[in-house]
Amino acid sequence: MKPLKTLVALGLAGALLSTPALAQREGVNVGQNSVFTGLVSAEQMEATALQQYRQVLREAAQQNALAPANNPQLQRLRAIAERIIPHAIDWNPRAKDWKWEVNLIGSKQVNAWCMPGGKIAFYTGILNQLKLSDDEVAAVMGHEIAHALREHARERAGKNAATSLGANVLAQVLGVGAIGQQVIGGGAQLLSLSFSRENETEADLVGLELAARAGYDPRAAVTLWQKMNAAAQGAPPQWLSTHPSGNTRIAGIERNLPKVMPLYERAKQGG
């Protein structure tokens, strides 16, 4: 097993060296992307996401649950996204070439997500049941976009791949993404991938900054999670099934508000 472990270490070290560091910048600091993202092809992950996104939309359309372009709630979501997306490139240069999409699905689910490649979906349940303000919608959207920008699905797939290296380990060391191709190509469902608490903390903070830079009040992230906590007193919303909540989370957001409030104030003034 020692040679195998050495090869894995070399592969991860190579991924680390190829991961660009965020320069010193104003706002939150969450460090570099995980080295495990280097085990999976970004292009293949985004292609898989597009395929699965299209399937979700087809199924929604078949159930007459896909909102048409003139739906006021969908127009609202797309307007908020248009303000947030320009600030995504600072977090991931690939985002410049993503074909961003925002769609609304009629469902009582209190849920929203963003697949790799900028494929966003909201469910009417999260808007209607929580009665979200635009600032709170921006907090949700920023959080979900942050998962895509930080490539958390790719990281999760990379970690899964690393647990079953087998004969592909040498190919991984010599060619980035070789292992991950088997995991993704095997039909991994991106919507069922679970994120770690570290992933969730990163998404909270990056989402906080994205919303602030877009001119949405980042303090709305606190009221959002207060609403989510209240909703969880009954049957926990689906959004909470992969988003650990609680006072600790809110406290973490509050600690970082001073880092993003100046960005929000400047954005409000058109700066």
Q: b or e along 34-53 (b: 16 or more beta carbons within 10 Å of the residue's beta carbon)?
A: bbbbbbbbbebbbebbbebb
Q: What is the pLDDT of residue 22?
A: 47
Q: Reply yes or no on whether 144 is catalytic.
A: yes
Give the tokens for residue 220: 């709305």
Beta-strand ranges (E) seen in the chain are: 101-105, 112-115, 119-123
Secondary structure string (H, E, C) spanning 20-40: CCCCCCCCCCCCCCCHHHHHC
Strands 112-115 and 101-105: unpaired
pTM of the model: 0.82
Please name the helix (run of DSSP H) or strand (run of DSSP E) that holds residue 74, with its range, or none: helix 72-84
Distance CA 32, CA 13 (A): 13
Is residue 241 included in any domain, yes or no? yes
The secondary structure of residue 216, as a DSSP letter, is: -
Which amino acid is present at 246? G
Q: Which domain holds residue 250?
A: 38-268
Mean pLDDT by 10 residues, the chain (271 residues): 43 44 71 78 89 95 97 98 96 95 96 95 96 97 96 81 54 46 50 77 95 98 90 59 65 94 93 61
Is residue 224 included in any domain, yes or no? yes
Is residue 130 included in any domain, yes or no? yes
Sheet of strand 112-115, all strands in order from the earlier edge strand to the far edge: 101-105, 119-123, 112-115
- Which residue is catalytic, options 144, 151, 155, 209? 144
Is residue 133 included in any domain, yes or no? yes
CB 231 within 8 Å of CB 239: no
Distance CA 215, CA 226 (A): 21
Please name the helix (run of DSSP H) or strand (run of DSSP E) that holds residue 267, with its range, or none: helix 247-268
Distance CA 260, CA 241 (A): 27
Q: What is the pLDDT of residue 218?
A: 97
Helix-strand-coil percent breakdown of the chain, rounded to 5? 65, 5, 30
Residue among 261, 249, 198, 224 at smallest CA distance from 26: 261
Strands 119-123 and 101-105: parallel
Is residue 140 included in any domain, yes or no? yes
Is residue 122 included in any domain, yes or no? yes
Query: What is the number of domains present in the chain?
Result: 1
Is residue 198 included in any domain, yes or no? yes
Is residue 25 included in any domain, yes or no? no
